[in-house]
A and B are shown apart, each in its own frame.
Chain A
Amino acid sequence: MILRRQLNNLMISWKGARGFRRTMLDIVVRGSRNPMVVIGATIILVMVALAILAPVLPIADPTPPEVNPGEKLLPPSTRHWFGTDNIGQDVFSRVIWATRVSLTVASLAICFSLMIGVILGLTAGYFGGAVDYIIAGTIDLFWTFPAFLLALALAAALGASLTNVIIAISISFWAGFGRLMRGQALTVRERQFVEASRALGAKNSRIMFTHVLPNCIAPLIVWASIGVADAITIESSLSFLGAGTPATTPSWGNMLNLGMPFISEAWWVATFPGVVLLITVLGFNLLGDGLRDVLDPRMKGLRR
Chain B
Amino acid sequence: MMPRRKPIIEIRGLRTQFIMREGTVTALDGIDLIIYENESLGIVGETGCGKSMTAFSILRLVPTPGKITAGSIRFKGVELRKLTEAEMRSIRGRLISMIFQDPSTSLDPVFTIGFQLGEVISLHQHVYDQSVLNKKILEMLKLVRIAAPQSVVKQYPHELSGGMKQRVMIALALSCNPSLLIADEPTTALDVTIQAQVLRLLKDLVKKSGSSMMLITHNLGIVAETCDRVCIMYAGRIVEIADTHELFEKPQHPYTKGLLTAFPKLGEQREELSVIKGTVPNLMKPFPGCSFVDRCDFATDECRRVRPSMIEVAPDHFVSCHLYRGGGEGDRVG
Listed in ascending order, the chain A residues whose CB lies under 8 Å from chain B are 5, 8-9, 11-12, 15-20, 23, 128-129, 191-193, 195-203, 206, 210-211, 214-215, 217
Asked if residues B110 and A215 are in contact (CB atoms below 8 Å), the reply is yes
CB distance from B215 to the nearest CB of A (A): 16
A16-B119, A199-B98, A200-B93 as given contacts; A9 in contact with B110, CB under 8 Å: no
A contact residues around B94 at 8 Å (CB): 201
Asked if residues B120 and A192 are in contact (CB atoms below 8 Å), the reply is no
**CB-nearest residue of chain A to B182:** A199
Asked if residues B59 and A8 are in contact (CB atoms below 8 Å), the reply is no
Give the contacting residue for A11; candidates B98, B100, B115, B128; CB below 8 A: B128
Q: Give 5 A-B pairs besides A12-B118, A193-B106 with Cβ atoms closer than 8 angstroms.
A: A17-B115, A199-B92, A199-B98, A203-B89, A215-B109
> Complex: how many Å from CA A8 to CA B114?
17
Give the contacting residue for A19; candidates B91, B97, B111; CB below 8 A: B111
A contact residues around B118 at 8 Å (CB): 12, 16
Listed A/B pairs (23) with beta-carbon separation below 8 Å:
A5-B126, A5-B128, A12-B133, A18-B115, A128-B64, A192-B100, A193-B107, A195-B100, A195-B106, A196-B100, A196-B169, A197-B119, A198-B61, A198-B92, A199-B61, A199-B92, A200-B97, A200-B120, A201-B89, A201-B93, A201-B120, A201-B123, A203-B86
Chain A proximity mask over B56-81: 1 for CB below 8 Å, otherwise 0: 00010100100000000000000000
Asked if residues A193 and B59 are in contact (CB atoms below 8 Å), the reply is no
> Complex: how many Å from CA A197 to CA B98?
10
Asked if residues B93 and A192 are in contact (CB atoms below 8 Å), the reply is no
> Complex: how many Å from CA A215 to CA B128?
25
CB distance from A303 to the nearest CB of B (A): 9
Asked if residues A16 and B93 are in contact (CB atoms below 8 Å), the reply is no
CB distance from B78 to the nearest CB of A (A): 16
B contact residues around A203 at 8 Å (CB): 86, 89
Asked if residues A192 and B128 are in contact (CB atoms below 8 Å), the reply is no
**CB-nearest residue of chain A to B98:** A199
A191-B105, A192-B102, A200-B92 as given contacts; A12 in contact with B97, CB under 8 Å: no
Asked if residues B128 and A197 are in contact (CB atoms below 8 Å), the reply is no
B contact residues around A15 at 8 Å (CB): 130
B contact residues around A199 at 8 Å (CB): 59, 61, 92-93, 97-98, 100
B contact residues around A210 at 8 Å (CB): 111, 119
> Complex: how many Å from CA A11 to CA B133?
13
Give the contacting residue for A200; candidates B102, B133, B173; CB below 8 A: B173
Interface residues on B, range: 35 or more
Asked if residues B108 and A197 are in contact (CB atoms below 8 Å), the reply is yes
A16-B112, A18-B112 as given contacts; A201 in contact with B106, CB under 8 Å: no
Interface secondary structure of A, over-half rule: helix
Q: Is B248 close to A, CB under 8 A? A: no
Give the contacting residue for B110; candidates A11, A195, A197, A214; CB below 8 A: A214
Asked if residues B111 and A9 are in contact (CB atoms below 8 Å), the reply is no
Asked if residues B110 and A201 are in contact (CB atoms below 8 Å), the reply is no
A contact residues around B102 at 8 Å (CB): 192
B contact residues around A202 at 8 Å (CB): 89, 93, 119, 123
> Complex: how many Å from CA A18 to CA B126?
21
**CB-nearest residue of chain B to A13:** B119
Q: Is B145 close to A, CB under 8 A? A: no
CB distance from B6 to the nearest CB of A (A): 24
Q: Is B218 close to A, CB under 8 A? A: no
> Complex: how many Å from CA A298 to CA B256?
46
> Complex: how many Å from CA A196 to CA B91?
14
B contact residues around A198 at 8 Å (CB): 61, 92
Asked if residues B108 and A211 are in contact (CB atoms below 8 Å), the reply is yes
Asked if residues A20 and B111 are in contact (CB atoms below 8 Å), the reply is yes
> Complex: how many Å from CA A9 to CA B120?
11
A contact residues around B119 at 8 Å (CB): 12, 16, 197, 202, 210
A19-B110, A211-B108, A215-B108 as given contacts; A12 in contact with B122, CB under 8 Å: yes
> Complex: how many Å from CA A16 to CA B98?
23
A contact residues around B98 at 8 Å (CB): 196, 199-200
> Complex: how many Å from CA A210 to CA B102?
21
Q: Is B36 close to A, CB under 8 A? A: no
CB distance from A133 to the nearest CB of B (A): 14
A contact residues around B133 at 8 Å (CB): 12
A12-B118, A198-B61 as given contacts; A192 in contact with B105, CB under 8 Å: yes
